[in-house]
Amino acid sequence: MYYGGNDLGAVTEEGRTSFKLWSPGAEHVTLCFYADGGDGPVQDKIPMESGEDGVWSVSFPENLHGVYYDYEIRRDGKTVRTADPYAKACGVNGSRSMAVDLRRTDPEGWEQDAAPAKRGEDIIYEVHVKEFSWDERGGFRKDHRGKYLAFTEEGTTLDGDGVHPTGISYLKELGVTHIQLMPVFDYGSVDEGRDADPAAFNWGYDPVNYNVPEGSYSSDAGRGEVRIRELKELVGSLHRNGFRVIMDVVYNHTYSEDSWLSRTVPGYYYRYQEDGSLTNGSACGNDVASERPMCGRYILDSVMYWAGEYHMDGFRFDLMGLLDVELMNRIQSALDARFGAGEKLVYGEPWAAAVSPMEGDAVPALKENIEKLDDKIAVFCDSTRDSIRGHVFEAEIPGFVNGGEGLESAILESVRAWCGFKHDKGFRPKAPSQIISYVSAHDNLTLWDKLMMTMEPDSGFTRMPEAVLKANQLAAAIYFTCQGHIFMLSGEEFGRTKQGDENSFRSPISLNCLDWGRAYENRELVEYYRGLIALRFQLPGLCDKSETAFRRITERKIEAPGCVSFCVDNEGETHESRWKRLLIAYNAGEKSRRIRLPEGTWSVLMADGDSWLWKREDVVAEEKFAVSPTSAVILGCEE
Ligand code: CA
In whole angstroms, what is the distance from residue 322 CA to residue 253 CA? Answer: 9
Q: How many CA atoms lie within 13 A of 74 on its CB side?
A: 9
- pLDDT category, 617, cuts 50, 70, 90? confident
- Examine the pLDDT at 422 and tell me if it is beyond 70: no
Per-chain residues with Cβ under 5 A from ion ligand 1: 186, 214-215
Exposed/middle/buried for residue 147 (C-beta within 10 Å: 0-12, 13-18, 19+): buried
- Examine the pLDDT at 424 and tell me if it is beyond 80: no
* Predicted local confidence at residue 427, as pLDDT: 87
For 431-468, write each residue's pLDDT tens digit: 999 999 999 999 999 999 999 999 999 999 999 999 99
In whole angstroms, what is the distance from residue 33 CA to residue 633 CA? Answer: 66
Longest dimension (CA), the chain: 85
* Predicted local confidence at residue 426, as pLDDT: 74
Task: Give me ligand 1 centre to Cα 498, in Å.
Answer: 25
- pLDDT category, 24, cuts 50, 70, 90? very high
* Predicted local confidence at residue 425, as pLDDT: 64
* Predicted local confidence at residue 531, as pLDDT: 98
Task: Give me ligand 1 centre to Cα 213, in Å.
Answer: 8
Q: Please give the positions annotated as active site.
A: 318, 349
- Examine the pLDDT at 423 and tell me if it is beyond 70: no
- Which residue type occupies 454? T
* Predicted local confidence at residue 618, as pLDDT: 85
- Which residue type occupies 127? V
Task: Give me ligand 1 centre to Cα 94, in Å.
Answer: 6
Give the pTM.
0.97
In whole angstroms, what is the distance from residue 255 CA to residue 41 CA? Answer: 26
* Predicted local confidence at residue 237, as pLDDT: 98
pLDDT (average), residues 280-295? 97
Task: Give me ligand 1 centre to Cα 38, in Å.
Answer: 13
For 369-407, write each residue's pLDDT tens digit: 999 999 999 999 999 999 999 999 999 999 999 999 999
In whole angstroms, what is the distance from residue 213 CA to residue 217 CA? Answer: 9
Cβ atoms of residues 584 and 634 within 8 Å = yes
Cβ atoms of residues 97 and 10 within 8 Å = yes
pLDDT (average), residues 205-233? 98
Task: Give me ligand 1 centre to Cα 130, in Å.
Answer: 13
The mean predicted confidence, pLDDT, of the chain is 96
* Predicted local confidence at residue 623, as pLDDT: 87
pLDDT (average), residues 200-207? 98
Task: Give me ligand 1 centre to Cα 506, in Å.
Answer: 15
For 550-574, write each residue's pLDDT tens digit: 999 999 999 999 999 999 999 987 6
* Predicted local confidence at residue 58, as pLDDT: 98
- Examine the pLDDT at 336 and tell me if it is beyond 70: yes
* Predicted local confidence at residue 572, as pLDDT: 81
pLDDT (average), residues 494-498? 98
